[in-house]
Structure 1
């Protein structure tokens, strides 16, 4: 209930009622208000600090994840380049050998593409009930076609049930009618698709549609054929991993006969340096964020100012754990520590990357092939670092628990503030009523006093006349 609006100065007493009530209310609530304000400020700072720390940890682990992508290794000792990516792309691993290779692609690996007989009724043609057996490369898949099926519903059912197996279906309508067309992401000789079980949809994927009415569209599935330094190699896939030790070849097009493409393999020192610098930068960003959250400064008056997580035990424990990972000895044969690559911890906790020492490690000590193991291998730096961080930053980690607890404290403080506001309003209203009543009583007493004074003055005046 809102307090009544009254003049600040009492009519009967001349007292400033508003100032008196305000002073009394503040005297009653000031200590509790100061406590709530102080606790709210501290709690808000902690919430902000924990949020900033979690964001910094997430950014660091994300950066490590990008450096550890399986499809694009960041720590390969060798790099491969192709003279023509439109013919072949090459990726080198740590077991590659520096040199150049002549690659001539005779043909690419292809998958099976088959079509059923033509249906003049189009996609809405009725298909009889039955079990449709789709076979490919020794694997059989059964699609149970129910009553009332059409060519279109059979297509949709195949896509729904077999897409995970790499088999897809569509309907192609030509001048002679609609055909059910099946294709597969599987490539290589012997991967031809055949369909049986429902006569109208029977397909022999090893025979031509042009002569049989149903069958393969252009050709049967084929292996890729290429020559490596003149030696013929076949592959069921256009990704060839075993032709050259340490190299993965991705075939992208056919060569002009007699015009091979050169693939060159060389030490990947620059690439390794860039990746290591990326790790150092990511770690330093995390370290600087933690320093900002925990440092102590002084204001213009020389007073100590604490950051949101200064002296926080959880943050100290986290920092100890991640620094411990950097100091651990790895399981490699010759490369076991970051210092061997020129990476050392500075006084402020950040990492320094000495390019001169790194170059010596690559060129003189030939440690390039072991860099990947140090960072991304089993129990490597990335794995150990994630294990150190996860107990803190996981969805059920200590920082998440801390945030939940702080949110509960914030809720409690909000409730305390609301209760104090209600008390302030109630006390203000109660005291105001009392002082207004007092002022009214004083006003009446003053009026009575003035009346009595007037009576005595009149009596005195009458006495003087007589």
Structure 2
């Protein structure tokens, strides 16, 4: 039987069109599968959206679960001679800060030398002492024949012993300048040597006078800046500090001194940072309301358009909503504030939360410790935030409700993909069989047409002979 390269050529029948119609009909078997795939992919996307908004809600609990959120304070000070920072341990109040003296690091300078790189002509050991008495620290610097002023500088700095050496040229000669690495009298320096030449050139002894400043005796070393402590008063109480950064003179407050003040000083104000507390609560409320809005969208039904949210009637979605409603009804029977509503955080008819600013501000102003206990528990244990976070863990953690739901959808999509592939293979085989059968039919009809034409010619010829 001859082969027909294009269906219908031999028979004249529209076999190609018929085969296309049959293929379209066969492909309809894929429609239920693709519709299911679309439906499950839509649900998977919906769960992704839900997970994102729930994660944001969980993140908002971090500040509420931290007791420091509700002990935050703000601090400010008039003038520019003192800057201030504070921690949650600071006590609210007003304080007068007057600075009479800044802390300084001691500096001494040697006699002048014509050439900083010329040989000193001395050898021996210089012993450096920083501080005094049992708290003093010491280190030795060896000076060898042939060492220059520059070499001595480098040897001192290499020890990193609390003394910094530099060389200063005053226009006519070079001088070795030694500076304490720290401010205050506790960092005052002394240098000595058993070698007379070295001791005469660089040895000196520091003492602290009644005025609280260092003085230097011995050798050719001259004190250019005295070691001294910072001196200030806070509400009339004298305070001395080795550094210009004064910590814990006021509980939880760090003062950084940059200049002296007049006798009246500057006014430091420390007060509760209720703005940051309110912001933490509002961030939680906003995150919860975002979740409610997302949940409503995913479970809505529009009767006019006859369209439904992707998770309408979904059992996992119902379970999540139920657990969160239960968590939001948290009650602390031992606290001053037992429920969210006691703090002015009210549940609305549409399921969202709304903050009564006056009620919340009043609670934070009057008893922020009690507000902290409600949200963060006692000593950071328990509380509303921890309880809600536990619920969020059931939903969001590995093997939680969302992962179980999405894993199930992924498994179903894999199964549907396999079904689609098998069905496509079946359709392809069916169409191939139809194509083969149509080709045979086309060839057969073509032969029959040829035979019919031949017989017709024969009959016509016979009829002509007999007429």
> What band does the TM-score fall into relative to the shorter chain?
0.5 to 0.7
Per-residue CA shift, 1:119-177, capped at 9, x if unaligned? 99xxxxxxxxxxxxxxxx99x9xxxxxxxxxxxxxxxxx9xxxxxxxx99x9999999x
Matches within 5 A, 1:349-388: 349-361=351-363, 366-377=366-377, 378=380, 379-388=382-391
Question: Does the CA-based 8 Å contact 1:77-1:369 persist in structure 2?
Answer: no
1:404 shift after superposition: 4.3
2:435 to 404, 407, 432: 432
Question: Does the CA-based 8 Å contact 2:90-2:250 persist in structure 1?
Answer: no
Matches within 5 A, 1:39-438: 39-65=36-62, 74-76=69-71, 79-84=74-79, 87-91=82-86, 93=88, 96-97=91-92, 99-105=93-99, 226-233=232-239, 242-245=248-251, 247-251=252-256, 253-256=258-261, 258=263, 260-266=265-271, 268-298=273-303, 300=305, 303=306, 305-330=307-332, 333-361=335-363, 366-377=366-377, 378=380, 379-394=382-397, 397-438=400-441
1:339 shift after superposition: 0.9
Q: CA 1:306 to 1:107, structure 2 compared with 1: closer, same or farther past 3 Å?
A: farther
Per-residue CA shift, 1:287-345, capped at 9, x if unaligned? 21222222223353xx2x23222223333333333333332123764123221121111
What 5-or-longer segments of structure 1 have no aligned partner? 113-118, 121-136, 141-157, 159-166, 193-205, 213-217
Alignment: residue pair count: 397
SS in 2 for 1:367: helix
Q: CA 1:95 to 1:265, structure 2 compared with 1: closer, same or farther past 3 Å?
A: closer
Provide the rounded CA distance (Å) in 2 between the counterparts of 1:404 and 1:110: 67
Provide the rounded CA distance (Å) in 2 between the counterparts of 1:171 and 1:415: 79
Provide the rounded CA distance (Å) in 2 between the counterparts of 1:109 and 1:57: 53
Residue 458 of structure 1 corresponds to 461
Q: CA 1:374 to 1:65, structure 2 compared with 1: closer, same or farther past 3 Å?
A: same
- Give the CA RMSD over aligned residues: 5.2
Provide the rounded CA distance (Å) in 2 between the counterparts of 1:323 and 1:190: 62
With structure 2 as the length reference, what TM-score do the two structures score? Answer: 0.65
SS in 1 for 2:350: coil
Question: Does the CA-based 8 Å contact 1:77-1:372 persist in structure 2?
Answer: no
Q: CA 1:219 to 1:328, structure 2 compared with 1: closer, same or farther past 3 Å?
A: farther
Question: Does the CA-based 8 Å contact 1:82-1:90 persist in structure 2?
Answer: no
Q: CA 1:311 to 1:83, structure 2 compared with 1: closer, same or farther past 3 Å?
A: farther
1:24 to 18, 22, 37: 22
Provide the rounded CA distance (Å) in 1 between the counterparts of 2:457 and 2:253: 118
SS in 2 for 1:308: coil
SS in 2 for 1:336: coil
Provide the rounded CA distance (Å) in 2 between the counterparts of 1:376 and 1:173: 58
SS in 2 for 1:103: strand
Q: CA 1:404 to 1:183, structure 2 compared with 1: closer, same or farther past 3 Å?
A: farther
1:444 shift after superposition: 0.5
What 5-or-longer segments of structure 2 have no aligned partner? 107-115, 118-133, 138-157, 189-204, 207-213, 220-224
Question: Does the CA-based 8 Å contact 1:188-1:224 persist in structure 2?
Answer: yes
Q: CA 1:283 to 1:451, structure 2 compared with 1: closer, same or farther past 3 Å?
A: same
Residue 148 of structure 1 corresponds to none
1:239 shift after superposition: 7.3
